[in-house]
Structure 1
Amino acid sequence: MLVQSYLFFNGRCEEAINFYRKALGAEVKMMMRFKENPEPMTEGCGPGGAAIPGDNIMHACFRIGESEVMASDGMGTGQPEFKGFSLSLTAASDAEANRLFNALADGGKVEMPIMKTFYASSFGMVVDRFGVSWMVIKPLPMP
């Protein structure tokens, strides 16, 4: 069984993916726009019966390290809300943890500055400019 994250960006999906490419080295595996859908769209299937802009991202998949994340503009409008979860990045070194944390914090909000804890040589929490919550960690070796 595989569990994957699927993020809905309400019109900012392509911008978010480009940000993750720059900040995290994300690699786009697949991206399809609504206008590229091989099946005819039901007219007015957007929120409140609104048409979906053809350039919006219908489905995308990108790789960050060893993990794949799926994303879409979805059919919502307004500001996306990502509540009740965080994506966690495990860094290979403290320098990498700091680099990743600072890249995600650009235009975002630091919830907990990156620091040494009893369980990690580096740990911090940040909400990026798209509202996605991230935890960045360089764990201490297990005894």
Structure 2
Amino acid sequence: MKFINPYLNFNGNTEEVFTFYRSVLGGEFAMVMRFRDTEGCEHMPEDEKDGIMHIALPVGSSVIMGTDVPKSMEQVVNGTSVSLCVHMDSREEADRIFNGLSEGGKVTMPMEDMFWGDYFGSFFDKYGIQWMISFSTQDYSKM
């Protein structure tokens, strides 16, 4: 296996969420597809056709992807079963990303040195997504 990319589902605000993520994390969208431009979605309600069918934001060697869940499907309920864990290249970068993404959200653990050796913090962003930000001099790819 080469990598795993997180895929996030939202109840109609995917574009807003990903625009916010791009403003903090940087980069450009690799893809933005709307339901109205996708074959097979012609019969969707008109008020859902401008929703995001698929969006992709490259972040380092990963890609965060997402979609709007149509109202005809079971709606998303944010929970605590998944976190996006981002490993940064420096303490300064970890602080910048932590502060940017946690703005308007709920910090569950502020950035601090941890007993396992990482500089680490966690939070829920203002959209209810759980994040863990970490900086370490350890090479996790060899674990």
The answer, yes or no, to whether TM exceeds 0.5 is: yes
Partner of 2:9: 8
Query: Does the Cα contact within 8 Å between 1:112 and 1:125 map onto a contact in 2?
Result: yes
Coordinate RMSD, CA, aligned: 2.1
How many residues were matched structurally? Answer: 136
Query: Does the Cα contact within 8 Å between 1:101 and 1:124 map onto a contact in 2?
Result: yes
* Corresponding residue to 1:87 among 84, 88, 94: 84
Query: Does the Cα contact within 8 Å between 2:30 and 2:58 map onto a contact in 1?
Result: yes
Compute the displacement of 1:94 (Å): 0.6
Instruction: Name the SS for the 2:99 alignment partner.
Output: helix
Query: Does the Cα contact within 8 Å between 1:119 and 1:140 map onto a contact in 2?
Result: no
Any stretches of 5+ residues in structure 2 without a counterpart? none
After TM superposition, list the pairs within 5 Å mapping 1:56-71 onto structure 2.
56-71=51-66
* Residues 1:128 and 2:125 aligned together: yes
Compute the displacement of 1:119 (Å): 2.4
Q: Which amino acid aligns with 1:116?
A: D
* Corresponding residue to 1:98 among 95, 100, 125: 95
TM-score normalised according to structure 2 size: 0.84
Tell me how far apart the structure 2 counterparts of residues 109 and 26 of structure 1 sit (CA, whole Å): 25
Which region of structure 1 is more displaced relative to structure 2, 80-89 or 125-134? 80-89
TM-score normalised according to structure 1 size: 0.84
Query: Does the Cα contact within 8 Å between 1:122 and 1:137 map onto a contact in 2?
Result: yes
Tell me how far apart the structure 2 counterparts of residues 80 and 52 of structure 1 sit (CA, whole Å): 21
Instruction: Name the SS for the 1:81 alignment partner.
Output: coil
Task: Call closer, same or farther: CA 1:90–1:43 in 2, change over 3 Å.
Answer: closer
Query: Does the Cα contact within 8 Å between 1:27 and 1:64 map onto a contact in 2?
Result: no
